[in-house]
Amino acid sequence: MCPWEFHDKPRDECGVLGIYAPGNSVSLKAYYGLNALQHRGEESAGIAVSDGKQIRVHKKMGLVAEVFNKDILSALKGNLAIGHVRYSTSGDSSEVNAQPLLYKDDKGSVAVAHNGNITNARQLKKRLAQTRTSGYTNLDSEIFLRLLAYYRNLSLEKLLELFLKEISGSYSLVIMTENSLIGLRDPYGMRPLCLGKLKEMESGYILASETCALRAVGGELVREIDPGEGVIIDKNGVSFMRSFPGRCRRLCIFEYIYLARSDSVIDGRTVNSVRREFGRELAREHPVAGDVVISIPESGTAMAMGYAEQCGLPFREGLLRNRYIGRTFIKPGQKNRELAVKMKFNVISDVIQGQRVVVVDDSLVRGTTSCQIVRMLREAGAKEVHLLVASPPLSSPCYYGIDIPSAAELVAAHRTLEEIRQYVGSDSLQYLSLKGMLQVLRRPKEFCTACFDGVYPVPVFEQETG
């Protein structure tokens, strides 16, 4: 395959992490931090560490706990690190595409970890065709390395400015040289990135996709990085860079719906509290006569609780989730996803038998989960099964790094509500409206909602849409 051949459609998320802790070993902290971000990508994991002289990288396919062990972590010596958990959006799901990516030349080394999806990668790739970096990956993220290599003589500040001007799409980046840690968020702030402070260390800092990783490494939130903002952390302290005019914030609304961990804080609110509110709003819009409310764990749980609270119905654990099976939506390939759903859930029969069951999930994408769950609930003796989805019907693909596929694969794209109900096999089906969902959010205009309404905030170049 040509090294710049992209997949026909994007997949899911990634998690990025950076730790700057002068005088302290950081590899174990990076390991804990990446573990906290595991839900953002389960395909590969990697950590790059600098001892001030050179950067060493260890990365492999697998979960964080599978990729690293005590010996590997002790060999990664240094007090500056970046890390990545990947779910592939551009390029194969293979070890060569695992991140962080490392570039070395006679001036030194630089490593990059990227969350997001670049929408003008092909154009940039053509322009930088002569610039060699690793030469192996077929990632969109390699663009950052190529630009770094091509403009090697520019200052860090100028380089970040160049990224912001040249690169279109979504990106939250952590970058490291031998002595500095850098963070950058795209001009629309589509992917999250926050800055934290290591509590017991005067000059120790963390950058992370989500606040849940800050706590895992003994840090506390300083603040979220703004759209179009860069941050450089080195021996001079922390400096922020805002020379590029940030655009309107357009955070991916799926961070609240599904992607982020429930205990993470985005825009001052825990994801859990927002999900609960989505559930309450869903109940206001669509109250259903039922006996018991259950959730499709994990992400649907807070919404189901909110729904039950609002309706005054009892919330019960009706489905047991096997904790050793990961997230099904982010698995590559439909067969893998179907198998994973089968292995992931089991019904707690006495909660279900003879009941009018109201089952709440956060989203309905391909319908892999809901079809099987409805069938399982019926087999377990449910009298009625009512499916409530705490986000609107998905009608358009995502080009910014989430596995919301082509309209052909989206259950809701070409079906009426009644047709979708028949497809999943429930007695009734209702979705939360886009208006209702936005109403719950403090700054409703500052979100990307393209997969629901087809309004794409960042240009998607024709060649990139596959």
Ligand X SMILES: O=P(O)(O)OC[C@H]1O[C@H](OP(=O)(O)OP(=O)(O)O)[C@H](O)[C@@H]1O
Ligand Y SMILES: NC(=O)CC[C@H](N)C(=O)O
Q: Which residues bind ligand SF4 (CB under 6 A)?
A: 190, 252-254, 398, 400, 402, 404, 448-451
Peptide bond into 100 cis (omega under 30): yes
CB contact at 8 A, 290 and 444 = no
> Residue from 368, 396, 426, 430 that binds ligand X (CB under 6 A)?
368
Q: What part of residues 225-244 is at the interface with ligand X (CB under 6 A)?
A: none
Encoded tokens for 288: 């259903």
**How far is residue 120's CA from residue 100's CA, in Å, rounded to a whole number?**
21
Active site residue 14: yes
Report in angstroms how near the CB of residue 361 gets to Mg ion at its nearest: 6
Q: Is 13 in the site for ligand X (CB under 6 A)?
A: no
Q: Which is nearer to ligand X, 120 or 363 (CB)?
A: 363
CB contact at 8 A, 31 and 68 = yes
Q: Which is nearer to ligand X, 118 or 365 (CB)?
A: 365
Q: What part of residues 40-99 is at the interface with ligand Y (CB under 6 A)?
A: 86-91, 99
Bridging pattern class, strands 181-185 and 169-176:
antiparallel
**How far is residue 172's CA from residue 185's CA, in Å, rounded to a whole number?**
4
Residue nearest to ligand Y (CB): 14
**How far is residue 438's CA from residue 426's CA, in Å, rounded to a whole number?**
27
Encoded tokens for 164: 């912001």
Q: Which contiguous run of DSSP H or E holds residue 230?
A: strand 230-234
Q: Which is nearer to ligand Y, 86 or 250 (CB)?
A: 86
Non-local CB neighbours of 456 within 8 Å, separated by 6+ positions: 399, 448, 450
Rounded to the nearest 5°, which phi and psi values hold at 177?
-105, -170
Q: Is 299 in the site for Mg ion (CB under 5 A)?
A: yes
Report in angstroms how near the CB of residue 63 gets to ligand Y at its nearest: 15
Report in angstroms how near the CB of residue 404 gets to ligand SF4 at its nearest: 5
Encoded tokens for 311: 């309706």
Q: Which of 14, 194, 311, 371 is catalytic?
A: 14
Q: Is 14 in the site for ligand Y (CB under 6 A)?
A: yes
> Residue from 19, 76, 124, 139 that binds ligand Y (CB under 6 A)?
139
> Residue from 144, 163, 258, 399 that binds ligand X (CB under 6 A)?
258
Give the residue numbers annotated as catalytic, written as ranges.
14
Q: Give the binding site for Mg ion (CB under 5 A).
A: 299
Q: Give the binding site for ligand X (CB under 6 A).
A: 258, 296, 298-300, 327-330, 361-370
